[in-house]
Amino acid sequence: MLKQEQDKVTLSDIASRAGVTKSTVSMVFRNKHGISQATRQRVMEIAREMKYTLFPVRQTRGKVHWGQVGFVIISKENPPLPGKLPMHYFSHMMRGCAAYAEEKGHSMVFSHLDWKQVDEGTLSAVLNRGYVDGFLCRAWISPKVKEMLQNINVPVVLMDCDRYLDGYSSVQVNNIKAMDLVVEHLVKQGAKRFATITGNMEHQNAQERLAGLQMALTRRGISLPSEGIIIESDFCDANGRSGAKKLIASGYRFDALVCQFDLMAYGAIEELCSAGIKVPDDVRVTGFDNEEFSDKLAIPLTTVETDSFQVGRLGAKLLLAQTSGENKQVLHVHSEVSLVVRQSA
């Protein structure tokens, strides 16, 4: 074992033989700018001759290809507060990414950061060292996160992020279609007066879901008055309870309540029931995302299936098309959605 460790080739070994600095070798392997083509070629040839253990799977036009993609989640806080991170949603998304990557001969590495880490520059090894052909990024995008993404020298695809960014391809849930499916079902069940509880309106999903709901209702000649819209600061069960309590206290009469996330719907149903309002007899309630608990509630939840596994596959497909040079265009793709009907609506 000791001999194997002694024989292991390092970046310093390659740098010494190539007559360059260790940082130059690192920059070559990470596809950084500012290195001449001749230097790149010399470093790559020496690394190949020395059988460097992290040598990329191939090289084209001076660019290295590692056969590996990164998936990074960037949240506002770390660890996330209880109930705020839908791990079922993310785990299926990552599985979809990994499945497509593996079909194309790539592996996937994962990293989770928070805003504080990004602000301080204490990034994970995956982001600091590179050795990936591109990144899939699911993030709340702060100015520092945006700056970090701009400094990454490989393609990045945004995954269901809180906003679009110029120059980046993205995969988003088809919120507009989802809300049309929800309204179509509720109207068929006899709903006439709608209310909704939103999540954080800084997030693109919250904006699109509210806009999609208003569009779907308008097309059917139904109005959604301002008193029927409760804007909350987050997407958790406490916000569902708070939103339902505000609706009840306002005196606004409604027979359908559209919630922007399953946890919110769960909290709202609890609040409605505690106030003597029967679900679904008095008010029909819907959620969003078909989280793993949604069919196990006392009143199983009607909700939108976003198919996060497919979201992941779409993201990996976009990313690998960019890393291979097959497609250089910025594309915004929406995943398919469907409605899962249960007892709550």
> 């250089």: which residue's tokens?
328
In a domain, 295, yes or no: yes
- Beta-strand ranges (E) seen in the chain are 58-60, 63-65, 68-75, 107-114, 134-139, 156-159, 169-173, 194-198, 229-231, 256-259, 284-286, 303-305, 332-335, 338-340
- Beta-strand ranges (E) seen in 232-331 are 256-259, 284-286, 303-305
Strands 284-286 and 303-305: unpaired
Looking at residue 135, its pLDDT comes to 93
Amino acid at 5: E
In a domain, 341, yes or no: no
Q: Which of 58, 59, 54 is nearest to 105 (CA)?
A: 58
Residue 11 clears pLDDT 50, i.e. is over it: yes
Looking at residue 49, its pLDDT comes to 82
Same domain, 140 and 231: no
Tens digits of per-residue pLDDT, 277-321? Answer: 999 999 999 999 999 899 999 999 999 999 999 999 999 999 999
Looking at residue 152, its pLDDT comes to 85
Last residue of a domain, one of 48, 65, 82: 65
In a domain, 215, yes or no: yes
In a domain, 344, yes or no: no
Same domain, 220 and 118: no
Mean pLDDT of 194-207: 95
Report how far residue 292's alpha carbon sits from residue 281's, in angstroms, rounded to the nearest whole number.
24
Q: How far is CA 88 from CA 94, 110, 204, 291, in A?
A: 10, 16, 20, 6
Tens digits of per-residue pLDDT, 21-78? Answer: 888 887 777 666 678 878 877 887 887 788 775 554 455 555 666 688 999 999 887 6
Same domain, 278 and 238: yes
Residue 285 near residue 301 (C-beta atoms within 8 A): yes
Looking at residue 82, its pLDDT comes to 47
Residue 90 clears pLDDT 60, i.e. is over it: yes
Tens digits of per-residue pLDDT, 111-123? Answer: 888 899 999 988 8
Mean pLDDT of 213-219: 98
Token pair for 262: 């399953």
CA 97 to chain centre: 11
Using a pLDDT cut of 70, give the percent of the chain over it.
89
Looking at residue 13, its pLDDT comes to 87
Same domain, 236 and 269: yes
> Could you tell me what percentage of the chain is helix, strand and coil, using 3-state DSSP and rounding each to the nearest 5?
45, 20, 40
Tens digits of per-residue pLDDT, 93-112? Answer: 999 999 999 998 888 888 88
Same domain, 194 and 301: yes
Mean pLDDT of 247-260: 97
The number of distinct structural domains making up the chain is: 3
Instruction: Give the CATH number of the domain where residue 238 resides.
Output: 3.40.50.2300
Residue 8 clears pLDDT 80, i.e. is over it: no
Residue 221 near residue 249 (C-beta atoms within 8 A): no
Determine the straight-line distance between the first and last CA of the chain, rounded to whole angstroms. Answer: 64
Domain extent at residue 49: 2-65
Q: Which 3 state secondary structure label does DSSP give 174?
A: coil
Tens digits of per-residue pLDDT, 158-188? Answer: 999 999 999 999 999 999 999 999 999 999 9
